[in-house]
Structures are given as structure tokens and as C-alpha cells.
Amino acid sequence: MTEQLSAKDWLDQGLKTLARSGFTALKAEPLAKAMGVSRGSFYWHFADIGAYHAAILKHWREVAAERVIAELEAVPKGDDALALLLRRAFSARLALERAVRTWATVEPAVRAAVQEVDQRRLGYIETMLRQAGFPENVARGRAQILYWAFIGFALSDQPLSKPRQQAALDGLLQLAKR
């Protein structure tokens, strides 16, 4: 790589590495080697590996929650944003989601970040359901069920066939709309 790398370049590479190889691969030397640069480039942007890990978690939140919510907020009013969210969530490649949640089982700071993202996502789904006309208690319960379904899907080691996945998605959409 001949251009100077930005912190975002390192963070994007970190998310790719995390999804592909897990949290134990988030080290300066292997990341630098994968990017074709020296470790000095890493330390130019991050004080140490702990600072990098904190930045990775912040970047993950941006990618996995805030950008998704921003895109849904931009959906025209007549479109069904909840259906779009569910289709997107249940058709996505979720290796990064699994990797972050695995990391959270051994690192308290990561666990806290995952809990924050969970609350952000869950709150947004609840808001969508309330805006669709559901009473607060119904919206809260359905949002929780939808989110649990997503977490189960994300952590599942046995992917569903396309027809079974579509049937499950159709069932979730029915639940969300009744």
C-alpha cells in the first residue's frame, strides 16, 4: 500500500479481521502485515492495542447500529421500514455479529458495548412499532421477541435453506403487524 493509511482504514480492516478470524487476531503486527505496512502506521493512529480495541467497538456500533438506523430513517414514509429492517437483518452475513458477541463472553468492556448496541437496536425497534400504532407494552414485547429472533439467527451455526428462512421471516413480519 503506497498511500498513508487513516485510522478508519485500520478500523475497517479490524472489522474484517474480527469477522474472519475472531478477536484474537486483532493485533498490530498481523493487521499491519495484512495491510502491507509497518506497525508504525498502527501506532501513529492508536496509542496501544487497548485503544485500538475501544475504537473497534465504537466503529462496530456505528456500522452495526447507527448507520442501519440512519438508513431506515431515510426510508420514504409510505415504505415499510420495519419489513425492510427485518429483511435486511435476516439476509445479512452475520460473521461480525457472532465474532463481537463471542469476544463479549471474555471481555467486560466488549460485553458492555454489546449491551449498549442491543439496547439501541431494541429501543429503535420498539419506537418503530409504537409509530405503527401499537400500545407501549405491546410494542416493547414484540420488539423483544423480534430482537431475540435476530440474536438466535445471528448465533445459529446451522443456516436455514432459503425457503425456510423466508417462511421464518414471513412469520416474524406477521407477528410484527398483528
The answer to whether 18 and 39 are in contact (CB under 8 A) is no
CATH superfamily of 7-177: Tetracycline Repressor, domain 2 (1.10.357.10)
Q: What is the pLDDT of residue 3?
A: 64
Question: What are the pLDDT digits (tens) for 120-152?
Answer: 999 999 999 999 899 999 999 999 999 999 999
How many other C-beta atoms lie within 10 A of the C-beta of residue 51?
12
C-alpha distances (whole Å) from 91 to each of 10, 136, 174 are 27, 28, 17
DSSP structure string for the chain: --SPPPHHHHHHHHHHHHHHH-GGG--HHHHHHHHTS-HHHHHHH-SSHHHHHHHHHHHHHIIIIIHHHHHHHTS-TTS-HHHHHHHHHTTS--HHHHHHHHHHTT-HHHHHHHHHHHHHHHHHHHHHHHHTT--HHHHHHHHHHHHHHHHHHHH-SSPPPHHHHHHHHHHHHHHHH-
**How do the domains of the chain map onto residue ranges?**
7-177
Do residues 164 and 90 touch, judged by C-beta distance below 8 A?
no
Model pLDDT for residues 92-101, shown as the tens digit of each residue: 889 999 999 9
Model confidence, pTM:
0.90
Quote the pLDDT of residue 68: 95
